[in-house]
Amino acid sequence: MTFASIPSPPVSTFELGPLTIHVYALCILAGVFVAVAIANVRWRRVGGDFDQILDIAVVSVLAGIVGARLYHVVTTPERFFGPDGDPAEIVRVWNGGLGIWGGILFGVLAAWAWCRRKGYPMALLADAVAPALLVAQAVGRLGNWFNRELYGAATTLPWGLDVDGSGTLYHPTFLYEMVWNLAGAALIVWVGRRAGRVLKAGSLLAVYVMWYTAGRTWIEALRIDYAHTFLGVRVNVWVSMAVFVCGVAAFVAVQRLGSRTGDLVGRLRAVTEREERLRDGASGHETDAPAAGAADTSAAVDAVDGEGARGGADASGTPDVRTPDAPAAES
């Protein structure tokens, strides 16, 4: 008995004047906006501000799109090269074809480079964006539904996706991944609140990697779209399992070598205060000379680091460790 037959959307594009708007692209953009909103709230809790998260988002998203496209080109070269390929398709991202692994890799590398340049603690950013990434991926999966792509094999379960109106139902893998990702986002927030004082900074991104790859492994195995295989198993399944192992290793390494969240919060707040003073000075709100401002910034960083070393525990002796999920009173 069928309890839920999910119809496919009748359209995947619409016209707006001379432009053809792809719903797939709108879903990706919606995911980005939601992720920025979530990350902003969490980033501000540990001392950052919206301008910082917006800059990071712009750099990471652009790099992520390039990486995702390159991954797709490398793993499905026959679509772009050879007798039946079209190299011009490489730049036609709106036709679909973004590999999540390339997007994550390039996006993370771009964020790391930006944080290093600006002096932001990357570990704090990792914790702030971990659940936001899963929500963004969940929203983006709706684009596959509109494109009628990446569904699974035919199913006799009480639910399924009606792709062509024939009555045959298929595994709605886009929906499975949406639900899995949203559950993972909730789990990461819960872990951050319950274990934030125990886990080192950056741990939540490792949890994200483990959760997403665990789900992607079984969801990918259900899909029937064309994919290269190795030993009879889809390449993306192998990649998911390998990245899961890397996530476990990263989680262990962070616990052994990482910094406490409370130690990094002070540094981020010092950098944020410096940037705010520079912005105020550029707006004419301050008249201090640039050299004096730089000296003040250096002193502020030293002062905050000193306070972190001296004030790492409250009056009861409990370490003052805060995570994006455990907001502190504004000072």
Where do the domains of the chain lie? 9-257
The answer to whether the CB of 184 falls within 8 A of the CB of 211 is yes
Sign of the dihedral through C-alpha 127, 133, 135, 138: negative
Residue 308, pLDDT score: 41
Instruction: Tell me if 322 sits within 8 A of 328, measured CB to CB.
Output: yes
Tell me whether strands 4-7 and 159-162 are parallel, antiparallel or unpaired: parallel
> For position 323, what pLDDT does the model report?
58
CA distance 197 to 71: 37
Q: Write down the pLDDT at residue 297.
A: 41
How confident is the model at residue 321, as a pLDDT?
45
Give the model's pLDDT for residue 313: 41
258 — phi, psi (to 5°)? -75, 175
Give the per-residue pLDDT at 76.
81
Report the candidate in 126, 56, 124 with the shortest Cα–Cα distance to residue 267.
124
pLDDT at 312: 40
> Which residue is associated with the tokens 């079984």?
218
Q: Annotated binding residue at 141?
A: yes
DSSP H or E run through 83: none
Name residues of the chain where pLDDT drops below 70.
1-3, 94-96, 283-331
In sign, the C-alpha dihedral spanning 149, 155, 157, 159 is: positive
Say what the pTM is.
0.79
How far, in Å, CA of 95 to CA of 328, rounded?
A: 45
pLDDT at 291: 41
Task: Read off the pLDDT of residues 281-300 as tens digits, 9 standing for 90 and up.
Answer: 776 654 444 444 444 444 44
77-116 CB burial, b ≥16 within 10 A, e <16: eebbeeeeeeeeebeebeebbbbbbbbbbbbbebbeebbe
Residue 52 Cα to chain centre, angstroms: 16
Backbone torsions φ then ψ of 185, nearest 5 degrees: -60, -45
Q: What would the pLDDT profile of 183-192 be if each residue is shown by its tens digit?
A: 999 999 999 9
